[in-house]
């Protein structure tokens, strides 16, 4: 995972987008991580995992 400053993210937004398409990018403000930028494909993958976990949790609750 790459790390960049908020200032670099602001002035190099195109580069931030290109990098985030390949791997997550942590944006830091005053040396502290504040956000992670990910590709839409990675976001969709994470949503799918979350949905599957929610379905499994509901099935477990119904089985009790």
Share of residues in the chain with pLDDT > 70 (%): 98
Phi, then psi, of 39 in degrees rounded to 5: -70, 160
Rounded Cα gap, residues 6 and 62, in angstroms: 46
Look up the domain containing 11 and give its range: 2-63
For range 5-29, the mean pLDDT: 97
Rounded Cα gap, residues 56 and 49, in angstroms: 11
Note the pLDDT of residue 5.
Answer: 98
Residues 6+ apart with CB under 8 A from 25: 1, 2, 3, 4, 9, 16, 19, 36, 37, 38
Residue 8, pLDDT above cutoff 80: yes
Mean pLDDT for all residues in the chain:
95
Summarised one tens digit per residue, pLDDT across range 29-45 is 999 999 999 999 999 99
> What is the domain count for the chain?
1
Q: What is the CATH number of the domain that holds 45?
A: 3.40.1620.10
Whole-model pTM: value is 0.82
């Amino acid at each position: 995972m790459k790390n960049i400053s908020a200032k670099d993210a602001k002035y190099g937004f195109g580069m931030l987008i290109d990098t985030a398409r390949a791997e997550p990018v942590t944006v830091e403000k005053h040396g502290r991580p504040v956000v992670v930028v990910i590709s839409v494909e990675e976001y969709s993958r994470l949503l799918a995992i979350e949905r599957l976990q929610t379905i499994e949790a509901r099935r477990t609750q119904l089985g009790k």
